[in-house]
Amino acid sequence: MKIYEKIKIREHKQLLSAISSQEKAIPVHVRIEPTEICNLRCTFCWWHAPERRISLDNVNLNGRERLVNSRFLALIDELAEIGVRALSFTGAGDPLCHNGMEIILERVVSKRFYWGITSNMGLPLSDKMIELLAQAQWVRWSLNAGSSNGYQIVNRPRANGQKTFELACENIARLHRKRKEMNQGCVLTSSFIIHNNADEIVKAAELSSELGVDAIAYRPDTPYIRQETPARFSLAVQKAMEEAKYQFNSERFTVDICDIRLKDVVSFPPDVLCYYANHSTYIDARGDMYPCCYTRYDAKYVIGNVMDQSFDMLWWSQHRQDYFKQLSMRECPSCPHGRTNEVLKAHYDGCAEIDGRNEVLLPSDFFI
């Protein structure tokens, strides 16, 4: 199964029944951005790519913000209390650049969340941190290259580029050993965003496979603004991805070409709302709440802030509950939630039947 193909919301029969009964929605999955700080300056990053920043009038990012530990810990408690099942730690910055992540993840583990984290892993990590990461449902390694030279060109480390690349590889190998030692089911994947790095595609698959990673996902660098036709991989990129799959795809290692994401840029009819935003949300390093990670950089999408109020107070506010009703997929940035919203639309419109089979949810199903 490709990581973007399964429409996970279909598995949540109780959630779909609650929509039919017009019950208030408890968020299933919350993405949290611990910090805007990062040790890399990736060429496709919103903060480090000036041509992206100037495409928006109101970029809500300065590269310095972080969630204060005390509020961060309280937020984790609030999310557990309201009934959130899954947490993803992501960026803007790299989550592991937050200096309190060990105590944060200890709290997350104690609250029995399903959780995952995206990181470049090119940082000094303690044995305790590696042990915590091994307890995640998944760790997504932001790789984007397969050699030290390519890594420095695409990811542009702030410090010694060769050392950062070697450190990232070493940490991935440590994590692979630790999850085996602890007999943990943590899924370890490499993420490769296609951005002027076609010559690194095969190398990245080889490197990931050698380090014990379970899969590599090749993703298009999709444009922010929707368009009338799907995006396309270049012939060179397509050929390199197919070569990587031919050489390294196996029972132990999966090469995932995320070509379904090419269609995510296509415009939607104006009557398809972002119902998804009523079942998941995104909290940034300032405490601002957004509908999702794809709206995160534009301040016009800010719903409210959790720094001066509890999460449940903001979530149950009438403003938040009504927000998605005016959020048209046609006006939103390109994202992979279109098919999910088409499924949800049928349920919100009262014209969908719910599969009567017993609800059996896998941990991965909570990361809607």
Final residue belonging to a domain, choices 266, 286, 321: 266
Tell the burial category of 83 from Cβ atoms under 10 Å away from its Cβ (0-12, 13-18, 19+): exposed
- The tens digit of pLDDT for each residue in 296-338 reads 989 999 999 999 999 999 999 999 999 999 999 988 888 999 8
* pLDDT at residue 341 greater than cutoff 70: yes
The count of other CB atoms within 10 Å of the CB of residue 210 is: 12
Q: In angstroms, rounded to a whole number, what is the distance separating the alpha carbons of residues 5 and 1?
A: 7
The total of structural domains in the chain comes to 2
Same domain, 256 and 144: yes
Q: What is the largest CA-CA distance in the chain?
A: 57
Final residue belonging to a domain, choices 266, 299, 331: 266
Q: Which residue has the tokens 């611990």?
A: 34
Same domain, 173 and 291: no
pTM for the full model? 0.93
* pLDDT at residue 1 greater than cutoff 70: no
Domain that includes residue 319, residue range: 27-115+273-353
- The tens digit of pLDDT for each residue in 53-103 reads 556 677 777 889 999 999 999 999 999 999 999 999 998 899 999 999 999
Residues 6+ apart with CB under 8 A from 149: none
Same domain, 147 and 250: yes
Q: Which amino acid is at 90?
A: T
CA dihedral 49, 52, 58, 60 (to 10 degrees): -50
* pLDDT at residue 6 greater than cutoff 50: yes
**Is residue 44 domain-resident?**
yes
